[in-house]
Amino acid sequence: MKLAVIGTGYVGLVTGTCFAEVGHTVICVDCDARKVEMLQKGGIPIYEPGLEELVQKNVAAGRLGFTTSTRDGVENADVVFIAVPTPPQPDGSVDLSFMEGVARDIAAVMTSYKIVVDKSTVPVKTGEKVAETIRRYCKAKVEFDVVSNPEFLREGSAVSDFLKPDRVVIGVRTQRPVAAMKELYAPFNAPVVVTDINSAELIKHAANSFLALKISYINAISVICEASGANVQEVASGIGMDARIGRQFFDASLGFGGSCFPKDLSAFVKIAEQLGYDFGLLKEVQRINALQMDRFFKKILETVWVLKDKKIGVLGLAFKQNTDDVRMSPAIDLCHRLLKEGALLRVHDPKAMDKARTVLPPSGVTYIDDMNEVAEGCDALVVATEWNQFKSLDLDRVRKAMTHPILFDGRNLFDPREMEQLGFIYKSIGR
């Protein structure tokens, strides 16, 4: 089928590329001419494992193209995906101005029947507003259908999540677009849930909030584990072996971050409030998450005592492993807290150092390319992101390089007994 994808960010670029990979013809539209030019030359504006090769392969095969013109994208498309940002507002509500702008752009160039699919994460009842806007701004009175098709992509595994989805959720007002949407997703051989638009929009927020709840639950358990001498990883495994609970998203940490969980949680609390429900449970999920970072930072303060002019190594800057994204990153939050106390930082991240530079102050931070060099002359070392490669840190070299062998492990990458045998003062989460 012929598709247009409007917005080539983390979601849009993966969506367009993966649809091209399974044989559809895709034009990705973006208002950022520099980004479009980079993509046309085979460059990728984001780090996502496996994406660069897929983009280049499908551009070469003539199935994938990039343009700044909505008209060029929409006019020959059967299905038009909206994948533009829906950024959070300070009060937790969602900024839908990009959505509304794209709905108007599509309406202005539509001359034949289109299926307009909302892929962006939006508050429930947004689909209705998109349909209203298109009706209002559509010059040629052409028919169209609006569909909600939320994404469940995790950064760092977005390509595999798209190509092998647990399920495809389709929200429709009438049955007319269902056959085309099923044809579109047929190559993925995944179960398809067809429901109304509002339910489809709620599935997204409800799913993400539940995942965040799972993390905050195990983080709350980690506090009780520390107070009772239990091991949160063993408790998580013991719980997670119950098929109804599952072991995933049960890794205690210094808190979750990223551009989704914090934003979707505050949006969902706000949406519930606007619908007349006080979502206390999710407010507690947010509170536990904030407390987890406070507790971790307190461990550092209590152990190191004075942080002013101390050299602290920080391993990890991205909000999670396998991504370069530092939006709402716990690691970046931790760096700001350390800098505020006057600490001097030596930092490393396999992928996120360039993006970290744009959010960390120009002084007080030294960026180190080799993870084994970060500890040089440090009074303490912190693991802030769960990059697998940190597990193969040269701990002997690290211990010798530090003024004091103190390591704070915010992601439980190391084993407490081994670290003590190596002579470290080792603090982690829930063990």
The residues that are catalytic are 260
Q: Which is nearer to ligand UDX, 70 or 209 (CB)?
A: 209
Contact string 238-277 vs ligand UDX (x = CB under 6 A): -----------xxx-x--xxx-xx----------------
151 binds ligand UDX, rule: CB under 6 A: yes
What are 151's two structure tokens? Answer: 């994404």
CB of 126 to ligand UDX, least distance (A): 17
348 binds ligand UDX, rule: CB under 6 A: no
Contact string 368-387 vs ligand UDX (x = CB under 6 A): ------------------x-
CB of 1 to ligand UDX, least distance (A): 24
Q: Which residues contact 238 (CB under 8 A, 6 or more apart)?
A: none
Let me know the angle formed at the C-alpha of 295 by 269 and 217, rounded to the nearest 5 degrees.
Answer: 45
- Determine the residue type at 76: N
Let me know the angle formed at the C-alpha of 260 by 257 and 266, rounded to the nearest 5 degrees.
Answer: 90
From CA 297, how far away is CA 335, in angstroms rounded? 10
Identify the residue among 48, 105, 118, 155 touching ligand UDX (CB under 6 A).
155
CB of 114 to ligand UDX, least distance (A): 25
Q: Which is nearer to ligand UDX, 87 or 423 (CB)?
A: 87
The separation between the first and the last C-alpha atoms of the chain, rounded to the nearest angstrom, is 53
Q: By three-state DSSP, how is residue 193 classified?
A: strand
Number of residues binding to ligand UDX, judged by CB under 6 A: 20
CB of 296 to ligand UDX, least distance (A): 12
Give the HSE-up count for residue 179: Cα atoms under 13 Å, Cβ half-sphere: 1
Candidates 357, 296, 318, 271; CA nearest to 86 is 271
152 binds ligand UDX, rule: CB under 6 A: yes
Q: Which is nearer to ligand UDX, 250 or 297 (CB)?
A: 250
- Tell me the residue number closest to ligand UDX, measured at CB: 260
SS3 content of the chain, % helix, strand, coil (to 5): 45, 15, 40
- 39: alpha, beta or left, given left = phi > 0 and alpha = psi -120 to 50? alpha
CB of 290 to ligand UDX, least distance (A): 13
Contact string 179-218 vs ligand UDX (x = CB under 6 A): -----------------------------x--x---x---
154 binds ligand UDX, rule: CB under 6 A: yes
CB of 155 to ligand UDX, least distance (A): 4
Touching ligand UDX, residues 298-337 (CB under 6 A): 319-320
β-strand 192-195 against 311-315: which pairing, if any? unpaired
Part in contact with ligand UDX (CB under 6 A); list of ranges 70-78, 145-153, 165-173, 355-363:
145-153
From CA 332, how far away is CA 345, in angstroms rounded? 12
From CA 164, how far away is CA 156, in angstroms rounded? 14
Residues in the chain: 431
Binding footprint of ligand UDX on the chain (CB under 6 A): 151-155, 208, 211, 215, 249-251, 253, 256-258, 260-261, 319-320, 386
